[in-house]
Amino acid sequence: MGDFFKSRLFFVSLAVVIIASTLPLYVSGYVLGLLTVAYYFGVFAMSWDLLFGFAGEVNFGPTFLIGVGAYTAGILNNQYGWSVYLCIVLGALAAVVAGFVLALPALRVRGPYFGLTTLVAVLMLQNFIVVFADLTGGEIGLTIPDVISIDAGVNYWIALGFMTISAIILYGLSQSPIGLVLQASGQDPIQAGALGFNIVKHKLAAFVVSAFFSGLSGALLVFYFGTASVGTVVDIAVGVQVIVAAVLGGRRTVLGAALGAIFLIVAGEFLRPTGELATFIVSTVALLVILFFPNGFLGAALSHGARS
């Protein structure tokens, strides 16, 4: 990790964060709002990459963890009027508990069955939201009485700060001995187990960490939107967007996942005037990157820098 602070990647990242922190001084509220959402999605993607990129477990249902955190925080504020920050913390803790309960049986199956288990969890959460509409708002959505701030600049700085801190923690974890064990277990679990590592325990820890940041980001996002709905935080299409963002940015890079999320959100909004073609164009670009640059944006840049 010490080498990272001496690397070109660190100085480039630092410069980007410094420049990004000055944007509220000279860009419109519309742009700030777009980037605020992109930064939260960046945390979603980084959390997903920790589990897939290092532990080798394909989580097809990232929105289960996001949704649990978002709806828990939203319901507590809507039904009981608890403070925003208490609801956010409890939303993150609820996602951790839900992630732990889901991971225990899911990590004991192999191959695609883990991914299918997480996908079924999303479908179950969607059904829960619809069935208990009096509590969750159902398909219409849940109105959140309070928001973090009505100032676009404040919301932007909170999102940027949260993404930056999350990136530091998740990247640091990925470069720690735990991250190395996760990487070894993802590449060859049998050999890693033969070396004496508890594979299930390490993957469970990765799932819980991923759940914490996903749930926390989901809770923050709904208090920015002022509403929680299936389409914004639970829908399978949202999960696909998170997965594509992480792969676009670069598997096993963590930081690249945030880059991929920002690219997807900004590109989608930029192409909005094209109507239905927007999704097609963004999807085509994503497919081309995956086919010709399997290591993603950041992975390709790092490989080029290493060769230079």
Is residue 277 in some structural domain?
no
151 confidence band (pLDDT: 50, 70, 90): very high
Is residue 307 in some structural domain?
no
Q: Considering only residues 279 and 103, tell me which one the structure prediction assigns the higher pLDDT.
A: 103
Of all helices (H) and strands (E), which one includes residue 213? helix 199-225
Is the pTM for the entire model greater than 0.75?
Answer: yes
CB 39 within 8 A of CB 159: yes
Separation of first and last alpha carbons in the chain:
22
User: What local confidence, expressed as pLDDT, does residue 43 receive?
Assistant: 95
Residue 225: pLDDT over 90:
yes
The pLDDT > 70 percentage for the chain reads 92
CB neighbour burial string for 193-207, b if at least 16 within 10 angstroms, e if fewer: eeeebebeebbbbbb
CB 207 within 8 A of CB 117: no
Is residue 217 in some structural domain?
yes
Domain residues for 37?
28-236
Is residue 274 in some structural domain?
no
List helix spans (H) across 84-111.
84-106
User: Could you tell me which residues come within 8 angstroms of residue 308 by beta carbon, excluding any fewer than 6 positions away?
Assistant: none
Is residue 123 in some structural domain?
yes
User: What local confidence, expressed as pLDDT, does residue 184 receive?
Assistant: 77
305 confidence band (pLDDT: 50, 70, 90): low
Q: List, for residues 123-134, the tens digit of each pLDDT value.
A: 999 999 999 999
Residue 107: pLDDT over 80:
no
Is residue 100 in some structural domain?
yes
| Rounded CA separation 20/24 (Å) | 8
Of all helices (H) and strands (E), which one includes residue 136? helix 133-136
CB 200 within 8 A of CB 206: no
Residue 119: pLDDT over 60:
yes
11 confidence band (pLDDT: 50, 70, 90): confident
CB neighbour burial string for 104-129, b if at least 16 within 10 angstroms, e if fewer: eebbeeeeeebbebbbebbeebbeeb
User: What local confidence, expressed as pLDDT, does residue 272 receive?
Assistant: 83
CB 256 within 8 A of CB 299: yes
User: What local confidence, expressed as pLDDT, does residue 253 receive?
Assistant: 83
| Rounded CA separation 175/253 (Å) | 10
- Give the sign of the dihedral formed by CA 270, CA 274, CA 279, CA 284: negative
Is residue 288 in some structural domain?
no
* Mean of pLDDT over the chain: 86
Residue 234: pLDDT over 60:
yes
User: What local confidence, expressed as pLDDT, does residue 282 receive?
Assistant: 80
Domains: count for the chain:
1
Mean pLDDT is highest, among 12-21, 114-123, 191-200, 215-224, for: 215-224
User: What local confidence, expressed as pLDDT, does residue 280 receive?
Assistant: 83
Is residue 292 in some structural domain?
no
Q: List, for residues 22-73, the tens digit of each pLDDT value.
A: 999 989 999 999 999 999 999 999 999 888 877 777 888 899 999 999 999 9
